[in-house]
Chain A
Amino acid sequence: DGGITQSPKYLFRKEGQNVTLSCEQNLNHDAMYWYRQDPGQGLRLIYYSQIVNDFQKGDIAEGYSVSREKKESFPLTVTSAQKNPTAFYLCASSSPSGRARVSYNEQFFGPGTRLTVL
C-alpha cells in the first residue's frame, strides 16, 4: 500500500541536542511538507519542497533544517536553536504525477511524530 511513514512516533530529546525526524513516501509525489502542530494553533508550515534538491522556508523555519536528496525522503532536523521544540510534527506530500489539478493541491499526511524536550 502506498503511503507516508514517519518515524519515530515518539521522540525525547535533551535540551541542546539536535534531532532528526524521518519522513518517507512511496506515493511518487513531487512535493513534500513539514508542519508543526500545537494545541489551538492548527498546522503551521515549517519547510516545503516541490522537487528533489530544492526546498523553501515556510512560516516558522527558524531552528529547523531539511534536506531533499531523494524524491521519497524529506527528513527534518530540529536544531538546538529551536527555542520551544516540544510539539507534534506532521509530514505531508502532494501532486502525484499525471493526476487532475485538484490532486495537485490535495495533501496526504503521515501519522506524525511527537517530540518532547526534557
Chain B
Amino acid sequence: AQSVTQPDIHITVSEGASLELRCNYSYGATPYLFWYVQSPGQGLQLLLKYFSGDTLVQGIKGFEAEFKRSQSSFNLRKPSVHWSDAAEYFCAVPSGGATNKLIFGTGTLLAVQP
C-alpha cells in the first residue's frame, strides 16, 4: 500500500540557515509527489509538486525538492530560511487506484529562531 513518512516531527533552524525536510514514500509506480505548507490555524497551501521529468522541482517561496527514486525520497529544501517560513510542512502521495485521494505524512513542524 502507498504510504509516506516524514521522520522529523519538529525541526528548529536559525534564520538564514539552510533547511532540508525529509519525506520518504512507498508507491508501486512512478509517484506524483506533493509538498504542502500550513501556517498556524490556516489551511494547506501547495508548495510544489512532482509528476515526471526533471527530478529537481522548484516551488513557491524559494523552496525546491528533489525526487530520488533510488532512495524513495522527495526532500524539501530551502537555501536560506526566513522567519516567515515557520509553519508545518506536509508531504503527500496519491493513494492510487481509481480515486484521486492523497495520503499525507504526519507533518514536520518548523521553528525558526532569530
Contacts and interface: CB of A to CB of B under 8 A. Distances in A.
Contacts of A90: 43-44
B17 interface: no
Interface residues of B, number: 22
Contacts, number: 57
Contacts of A25: none
Interface string A92-118: 101100000110111111111010000
B100 A43 contact: no
Contact of A101 (B51, B104, B106): B51
B99 A42 contact: no
B106 A42 contact: yes
Contact of A114 (B9, B41, B99, B100): B41
A41 interface: yes
B32 A105 contact: yes
Nearest to B91: A42
Contacts of A42: 90, 104-107
A20 interface: no
B46 interface: yes
A110 B107 contact: no
Interface string B1-43: 0000000010000000000000000000000101010000111
Given A41-B106, A50-B100, A106-B34, 5 more contacts: A42-B107, A50-B99, A95-B100, A106-B46, A107-B102
27 contacts: A31-B99, A31-B100, A40-B9, A40-B106, A42-B104, A42-B105, A42-B106, A42-B107, A43-B104, A45-B101, A56-B99, A58-B101, A88-B41, A94-B100, A101-B51, A102-B51, A105-B100, A105-B102, A107-B44, A107-B100, A107-B102, A108-B46, A109-B43, A109-B45, A111-B42, A112-B43, A114-B41
Interface of A: 4, 6, 31, 33, 40-43, 45, 48, 50, 56, 58, 88, 90, 92, 94-95, 101-102, 104-112, 114
Interface of B: 9, 32, 34, 36, 41-46, 49, 51, 90, 94, 99-102, 104-107
